[in-house]
C-alpha cells in the first residue's frame, strides 16, 4: 500500500518538472563572440503570462517570452534565468568572447538588404584550412546545415545559398566539432524597389560607417534624406557617413529618395525604404601596428601570437615584413583572434653596409673592365713584341753556366737553351774556334746552312786569299751552293773593283 502511494506521486513530480520554464538559445552557439546575434526563449509557458528575465539575479526590462540580443557585448555575459507564473527556470550561462572568430565569412555579391527572391554569394576563409567545415543558416525558427564541397587543402571557398525568402536570414560556419567558427552574416529582404544599404557586419564603435540609399536598377537617385528612429538627420545626394560611430547611434534607419530608370521620361518615383536596424558593437580587442612593423597587444592572452597581412588580404605571414608595402596585423590563437590593426605603410630603412658592398662590387667590376680594355689595346699595337726565353736549369741551379771550350781562355761556348750536354746538335750555335785560323779570320753567319753543318757559321778563310778578301752572306746555301753569294776576290782585279750581287744563281766556278 505504501509503495502504491509513491507510484502515484511520480507522475505528479514529472508534471511539475514539465511545467517549470526552461531557457534556450536560438540559434544554438557553442561560442559567442562580440557582435553575434541570438535569441533567448523562456519555454513551457503556454498560458502566455508575463515573463520576468534575470541576469545575475538582476531583473531586466524585457517582459516577453523571447528576448533578442541583436549585438552581443561583454556586458551580456552572465547567468540568465526566467520566471513565469511564479516558477523559476534553471540558470543558463552565457560567456561573450571579447575577440573575433578565427575564420571569416564575407558577402562577396549582393547587399545586406536584398529584394525577395534574390540571392547572394558568400566567401568562407580560414588561414589554417577548412577540412571538415560546414555552414549553417537560420531562417525564422529553423536552422539547417549547408554542406560544403571542400578539398583537404582549401583555405577559402565561395558558395551560394538558396534564394532569400524570409525577412531575416543568418549565416555562419563551423568545423565538425563546432569548436572553431566564423562570424555571422545577416541578410534581410524588402518588398520595395530599394533599401537602405549598410555594412553587412555590425558597426564597430570608434570606426566609420557609411549608409547609402539604393534603388535596384535605377539610373539616377537624388534628393536623398536619412531618418533615424523617425527623425530626419541628414540630406545628401546619395550617402551618409558617420566617421566615429558611438553606441548611442544604434537604432532604426531608413531613407527617402527620388529615382529614375533608364529611358524613363515621366516624373521621378519616390522611395521610402523599410526601417533597418543598425547595430553598433563595442570594439573587440584590437592589435596595434607601429611604423617599424612591431605588432603589439598588451591585453591579449598569453597563447596568442602576431600575424601580418598585406592590405589585399591574399597573403599573411607569422614573421615581421621586410619589404615595402601596406600592412595590418592581428594576434591569433587556435580558435580566435583580435581585431585587425589600422593599416601602416612600411618603408624598409636603408642599409649602409649593403650600399657600401654594392658600391665596392661596382668599383671592382668597372676596374676589371678598364684593365681588360687597356690590356687589349696594348696587345693590339704594331710595336715589336718580345718574348722572354727562360733559361734552362741544370740541377738545382736556375741558370746554365758558361763553360770554357777545351780549357782555352779565348774560346767560349754559347748559351744552349735546349741541350744540357756538350754535344752539338742541329740548330745550335757552334763554338768559335781558333784552330787553323789566323788572327783576323772570322766566321760569317749562314742563313740556313753552314759549310759542313746545318745552321752553323761558315768560316771566312784566308787560305789562298789576300788580305781584305772576304766571303759575302749566303742567302740560301754556302759557297758553292745555288743561290749563294759569290766571293769578292781581288785576284786579277784592281783596287776599287767589286763583283755585283746575283740573286738567283751563284757563280760556281771562279
Whether the CB-CB separation of 69 and 276 falls below 8 Å is answered with no
Q: How far apart are CA 30 and CA 267, in angstroms?
A: 54
Cell 618603408 belongs to 347
Whole-number Å distance between alpha carbons of 395 and 157: 86
Per-residue confidence (pLDDT) for residue 371, from 0 to 100: 84
Longest alpha-carbon distance in the chain? 186
CA distance 35 to 288: 21
Q: What are the DSSP calls for 326-383, one per residue?
A: EEEEEEE-SSEEPBPPPPEEE-PPP-HHHHHHHHHHHHHHHHHHHHHHHHHHHHTSSS
Tally of CA atoms within 13 A in the half-sphere of 336 that contains its CB: 18
Map grid coordinates 750581287 to a residue. Answer: 501
Distance CA 222, CA 45 (A): 50
Q: What is the mean pLDDT of each run of 10 residues along the chain (510 residues)?
A: 45 51 92 94 73 92 88 94 90 96 94 90 93 93 90 86 92 94 94 85 86 84 89 80 87 88 74 88 92 92 91 70 86 93 84 74 88 75 51 47 46 46 47 48 44 45 48 45 46 48 44
C-alpha separations of 493 from 400, 404, 490 in Å:
49, 42, 5
Rounded distance between C-alpha atoms, residue 198 and residue 278, angstroms: 8
Q: Which H or E element spans position 137?
A: strand 134-139
CA distance 412 to 409: 8
Q: Which of 128, 138, 140, 115 is nearest to 36 (CA)?
A: 138
Contacts of 463 (CB under 8 A, 6+ apart): none
- Confidence (pLDDT) at 48: 61
- Ordered structural domains, the chain, with CATH: 17-97 (2.60.40.10), 192-284 (2.60.40.10), 288-346 (no CATH), 432-510 (no CATH)
pLDDT at residue 207, as a whole number: 85
What CA–CA distance (Å, rounded) separates 500 from 488? 9
Residues ≥6 apart with Cβ < 8 Å to 267: none
129 and 155 Cβ atoms separated by less than 8 Å: yes
Helices marked H in 131-204: none
CA-closest candidate to residue 271, choices 259, 288, 286: 259
The owner of cell 502515484 is: 8
Determine the Cα–Cα distance for residues 197 and 307; give it in Å rounded to an integer: 32
pLDDT score of 413: 46
Cell of 63: 517582459
DSSP 75: G
Tell me the β-bridge partners of 235.
225
- Residue 305: the pLDDT is 94
* Residue 135: alpha-carbon gap to chain centroid: 32
CA quadruple 362, 367, 373, 377: dihedral, nearest 10:
170
**155: helix, coil or strand?**
coil
The Cα 165–Cα 146 span in angstroms is 17
In whole angstroms, give the CA distance from residue 270 to residue 347: 51
3-state secondary structure of 281: strand
Amino acid at each position: 500500500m505504501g509503495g502504491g502511494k509513491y507510484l502515484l506521486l511520480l507522475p505528479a513530480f514529472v508534471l511539475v518538472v514539465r511545467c517549470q520554464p526552461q531557457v534556450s538559445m536560438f540559434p544554438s552557439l557553442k561560442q559567442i563572440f562580440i557582435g553575434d546575434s541570438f535569441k533567448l526563449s523562456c519555454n513551457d509557458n503556454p498560458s502566455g503570462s508575463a515573463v520576468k528575465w534575470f541576469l545575475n539575479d538582476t531583473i531586466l526590462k524585457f517582459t516577453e517570452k523571447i528576448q533578442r540580443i541583436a549585438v552581443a557585448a561583454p556586458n551580456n555575459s552572465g547567468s540568465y534565468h526566467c520566471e513565469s507564473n511564479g516558477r523559476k527556470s534553471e540558470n543558463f550561462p552565457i560567456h561573450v568572447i571579447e575577440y573575433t572568430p578565427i575564420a571569416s565569412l564575407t558577402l562577396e555579391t549582393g547587399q545586406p538588404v536584398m529584394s525577395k527572391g534574390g540571392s547572394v554569394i558568400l566567401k568562407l576563409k580560414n588561414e589554417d584550412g577548412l577540412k571538415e567545415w560546414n555552414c549553417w543558416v537560420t531562417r525564422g525558427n529553423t536552422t539547417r546545415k549547408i554542406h560544403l564541397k571542400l578539398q583537404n587543402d582549401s583555405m577559402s571557398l565561395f558558395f551560394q545559398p538558396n534564394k532569400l525568402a524570409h525577412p531575416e536570414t543568418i549565416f555562419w560556419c563551423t568545423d565538425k566539432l563546432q569548436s572553431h567558427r566564423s562570424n555571422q552574416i545577416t541578410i534581410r529582404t524588402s518588398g520595395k524597389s530599394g533599401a537602405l544599404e549598410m555594412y553587412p557586419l555590425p558597426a564597430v564603435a570608434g570606426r566609420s560607417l557609411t549608409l547609402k540609399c539604393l534603388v535596384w536598377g535605377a539610373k539616377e537617385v537624388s534628393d536623398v534624406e536619412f531618418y533615424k528612429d523617425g527623425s530626419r538627420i541628414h540630406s545628401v545626394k546619395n550617402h551618409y557617413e558617420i566617421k566615429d560611430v558611438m553606441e548611442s547611434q544604434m537604432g532604426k534607419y531608413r531613407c527617402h529618395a527620388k529615382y529614375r530608370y533608364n529611358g524613363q521620361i515621366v516624373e521621378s518615383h519616390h522611395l521610402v525604404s523599410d526601417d533597418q536596424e543598425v547595430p553598433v558593437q563595442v570594439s573587440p580587442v584590437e592589435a596595434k601596428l607601429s611604423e617599424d612593423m612591431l605588432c603589439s597587444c598588451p591585453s591579449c592572452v598569453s597563447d596568442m601570437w602576431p600575424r601580418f597581412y598585406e592590405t589585399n588580404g591574399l597573403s599573411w605571414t607569422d614573421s615581421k615584413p621586410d619589404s615595402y608595402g601596406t600592412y595590418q596585423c592581428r594576434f591569433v590563437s587556435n580558435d580566435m583572434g583580435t581585431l585587425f590593426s589600422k593599416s601602416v605603410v612600411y618603408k624598409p630603412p636603408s642599409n649602409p653596409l649593403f650600399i657600401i658592398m654594392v658600391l665596392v662590387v661596382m668599383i671592382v667590376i668597372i676596374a676589371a673592365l678598364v684593365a681588360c680594355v687597356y690590356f687589349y689595346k696594348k696587345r693590339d699595337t704594331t710595336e715589336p713584341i718580345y718574348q722572354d726565353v727562360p733559361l734552362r736549369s741544370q740541377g738545382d741551379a736556375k741558370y746554365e753556366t758558361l763553360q770554357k771550350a777545351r780549357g782555352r781562355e779565348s774560346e767560349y761556348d754559347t748559351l744552349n737553351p735546349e741541350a744540357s750536354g756538350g754535344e752539338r746538335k742541329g740548330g745550335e750555335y757552334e763554338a768559335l774556334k781558333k784552330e787553323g785560323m789566323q788572327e783576323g779570320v772570322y766566321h760569317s753567319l749562314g742563313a740556313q746552312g753552314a759549310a759542313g753543318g746545318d745552321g752553323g757559321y761558315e768560316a771566312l778563310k784566308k787560305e789562298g786569299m789576300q788580305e781584305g778578301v772576304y766571303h759575302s752572306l749566303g742567302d740560301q746555301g754556302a759557297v758553292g751552293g745555288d743561290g749563294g753569294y759569290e766571293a769578292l776576290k781581288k785576284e786579277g782585279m784592281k783596287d776599287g773593283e767589286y763583283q755585283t750581287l746575283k740573286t738567283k744563281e751563284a757563280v760556281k766556278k771562279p
